[in-house]
Amino acid sequence: MIKFSPTAVASCLFATAALLAGCKKDGPVMHGPDKMPTHVSSLRFIGEKIVPFKQDYNNTTIGGLSSIDYRPDKDKYYIMCDDASAFQPVRYYTADIDFDQTQFTNVNFTGVTTFKRPDGSLYPNTAADRYSAIDPEGLAYDPATSHLIWSSEGIRNVTVTPAVLTDPFLYEANLDGTFVASFALPSLFKIQSTENGTRSNGSFEGVSVVPNSRYVFTANEEPVYEDGPRADFGVAGSPIRLIKYDKVTHQPVAQYAYKLDAVHAAPIPADQFRLNGVVEMVAMSETKMLVMERSFAVGATPDYVVKIYEVDLDGATDISRENSLKTAIYTPVSKRLVLDVASTGIKRVDNLEGMTFGPKLGNGHYSLVLVSDDNFGSSQITQFLAFEVIP
């Protein structure tokens, strides 16, 4: 650091710098990894950017963007691709995202990195080896280690013999995608051939590192079988579990129940697919976080509804010892609606699955960025949404 002597010249230089900084109202302002919002009263929509369908980047297909995290010291974003090696090997992207208080100007992909298995090999697709394939979903950057923590939902397919029973996981990895460590999986979340444990495509989606802490959170998207039925149209209150892990020991230290909303509409026809679940979280402290719920119903208008809640764990019961919540007595976390994304007035709310705080804006407020998973389908879109965080 350069230190100035207390002279008149130095005073003028400081005054000039302060004046120039005050004039830059709209540009993003970098913030360090030790700072984070602690409360979100509301979100003000800034703008949207849509990435062209199946855009090529460095011989990979952009799509299926299921999670996002911002790295302040490098002003870059890490974005998970949930391609289970069907197009290219399991991977994440880096990107520069440009917006200010008034407009969203650009999304520029700057890198792509493949994740490696613990033995150093690439993950196969289901056609090559259905018993070794995974379902990548969540991603978080840990500033304490400069590592990534990422998740797979696991795969359950009992229609083949032998059944595919691939457990979900939470892994720690280097930025080059190589394996560092695995987090212990509570036995309740194991995938089984019977209706016990994790449901197919319903496990670890969201991952978030707690600022200035040794903890990381994840959650199952839908309830494990033991905890009760899935959310449905007219069925609210299905509980999923927020799991708190120690990053150092890689062991779970607590679990908290979060009650889901009902599916927003009946599918058409009525027997078609529908769901509502937790797809992303952003921790603000050890007891507060933003949680994104995503509801979908085939044939409904709209087909997707996405809501962001501020969640408080204070006073909630640690349910780690509960093997079933169907008859258990417990206090769930509390949640307060911050945003129904449809209220922005955008043309389409797609399959939003990723959420992260971004840089501070020129007025000192933080930003929030969302991204959608287009499922590599031509009827969907890869959309980025930017918001101002109103404290």
Would you say residue 3 has pLDDT above 60? no
The predicted-structure confidence for 159-196, as pLDDT tens digits, reads as follows 999 999 999 999 999 999 999 999 999 999 999 999 99
Q: How far apart are the C-alpha atoms of 158 and 165, rounded to whole Å? A: 8
**Token pair of 286 as six digits:** 């050890």
Q: Which residues make beta-bridge pairs with 80?
A: 67, 92
Alpha-carbon torsion, ordered 168, 261, 37, 94, to 10 deg: 40
Closest CA to 63 of 373, 386, 348: 373
Q: Is-contact 65 81, C-beta < 8 A?
A: yes
| Alpha-carbon distances of 385 from 23, 345, 379, rounded to whole Å | 26, 12, 19
Q: Is the dihedral of CA 171, 88, 57, 371 positive or negative?
A: negative
Q: How far apart are the C-alpha atoms of 367 and 261, rounded to whole Å? A: 26
Higher pLDDT, 3 or 275: 275
The predicted-structure confidence for 251-282, as pLDDT tens digits, reads as follows 999 999 999 999 999 999 999 999 999 999 99
Closest CA to 252 of 205, 204, 217: 217
| Alpha-carbon distances of 139 from 104, 115, 150, 178, 181, rounded to whole Å | 23, 11, 4, 14, 15
User: Which H or E run includes 347?
Assistant: none
Closest CA to 352 of 312, 295, 267: 295
Q: How far apart are the C-alpha atoms of 171 and 174, rounded to whole Å? A: 10
The predicted-structure confidence for 130-157, as pLDDT tens digits, reads as follows 999 999 999 999 999 999 999 999 999 9
Q: Is-contact 111 94, C-beta < 8 A?
A: yes
Mean pLDDT of 360-370: 98
Would you say residue 124 has pLDDT above 80? yes
Percent of the chain with pLDDT over 70: 91
- Strands 288-297 and 56-57: what pairing? unpaired
The predicted-structure confidence for 58-102, as pLDDT tens digits, reads as follows 999 999 999 999 999 999 999 999 999 999 999 999 999 999 999
Q: Is-contact 63 84, C-beta < 8 A?
A: no
Count CB atoms within 10 A of the CB of residue 379: 9
Q: How far apart are the C-alpha atoms of 17 and 239, rounded to whole Å? A: 53
| Alpha-carbon distances of 166 from 30, 80, 191, rounded to whole Å | 41, 20, 7
Q: How far apart are the C-alpha atoms of 138 and 205, rounded to whole Å? A: 5
**Token pair of 119 as six digits:** 């033995």
Q: How many helices (H) and strands (E) does the chain have?
A: 2, 24
